[in-house]
Amino acid sequence: MDTIGPLTSISAIGSSTSQGKGRNQGQQTPPQGQVLKALVIESKGNNRFVLDIGGSRQSVSSETSLSVGQSLRLQVVKTEPKIELQIVSNPLNQLQGRSLTLLGKNIDLASLFQGFQQQNRPPLETVSLSSRSTLESFYSLQQNGLEGKSGGAILKQLIENLGLNLEQLLARGDKNGAAHTLKAALLEIANSFKNSSNITETTTKILTTLELFQLTQLQVGNDTHLILPLPLPFIEQGYLMVEQNEKETNSSDSELLENRFSLHLTVSALGNLQIDFLQNKEGLFIRFRTSDQEKADFIETFSENLKSAITDIPLINISFSGDAPDPIHDLVRQLVPEGKSILNTRV
């Protein structure tokens, strides 16, 4: 394990994978499991370096050879008696060798349960009670409709149970919380059914998709930009991207909260679909982007229904266009630094 030991206390810094909306100003050190982005800005010799972590210069010791200008992702693995950071692998390296056809597919457990039914003995009896309960509960939630006021709560519960924070839970010592996540259950299934190619293939696809979203959030690396999968059976591919920015104003409120979020989807009847939302003090702006103009015109015929359904906030404008990008291509681009490619184009 490549570790780094800070020589002084680290001030509170926003997490690369946190789903929080702000920072605790009273916190003196980052919590165990938090992931930080760092840049090596100086080498002092004798295994000592200076890192820029969240805009703060930190002197550290490292047995691992570091180079000035090198970008790092560091996870807090210990806070007592001294802070210890572990170097997290580059997301691009973790994607190498994986087929992009597996990435970003819908997180639907229906195929997995169909594979279970083809087994000679009840397969869920061979896994732990926590994994069995997690799988059955998650699958049951996926069968519920999202209509009405409970729809948002169901989607929230599905996302929280995915296990996108599994490694953070383990780093904090929360084994019980980690065990009751979908990712932990799938890892156990993959290990228990190595001889069943059907179940192994289905499980690997879902795990690969979960890891893609984990890596993408790690690459984005801030508290106000979240990328969350939408584990809904009727969506072929889909995720939610949320941006929240606090802007200083001269008003008595001192802050203007502006919310931006967008749905990036592929659905069977419409193909690629992106819906952008902007909410500020004026009201709500919505833009529908479809794969072609014909589909955009079709969706526009329902605009009056949408306007009548939105009653809690002033709806300022709705627009429609036929230029929606492929959602997964856009997601993978979040992982690739500008000017670089994950494809080898040399012959």
Strand residue runs (E) in the chain: 3-6, 35-45, 48-53, 56-62, 71-78, 84-87, 225-229, 237-248, 255-267, 271-280, 283-290, 315-321
* Overall residue count recorded for the chain in this entry: 347
pTM across the whole model: 0.68
Summarize the confidence of residues 186-209 as an average pLDDT: 85
Domains and CATH numbers, the chain: 3-88 (2.40.50), 95-220 (no CATH), 235-333 (no CATH)
- Whole-Å CA distances, 70 to 52, 66, 108, 295: 11, 7, 39, 46
**Which pLDDT value is given to residue 161?**
94
**Which pLDDT value is given to residue 8?**
56
Averaged pLDDT score across all residues of the chain = 77
Q: What is the pLDDT of residues 264-290, one digit of tens each?
A: 999 888 899 999 999 988 899 999 999
**Which pLDDT value is given to residue 264?**
92
* pLDDT value at 343 more than 70: no
* pLDDT value at 67 more than 70: yes
Q: What is the pLDDT of residues 226-261, one digit of tens each?
A: 888 899 888 888 899 988 665 543 444 545 567 889
Q: Which residue has the tokens 């997301």?
A: 91
Q: What is the pLDDT of residues 312-330, one digit of tens each?
A: 888 889 999 999 988 877 7
Q: Which residue has the tokens 């681009």?
A: 333
Contact 239, 230 (CB under 8 A): yes
Largest CA-CA distance found in the chain, in angstroms, rounded:
69
Q: What is the pLDDT of residues 87-111, one digit of tens each?
A: 776 554 554 444 444 444 678 888 8
Residues 290 and 273: their CA atoms lie apart, in Å, by: 5
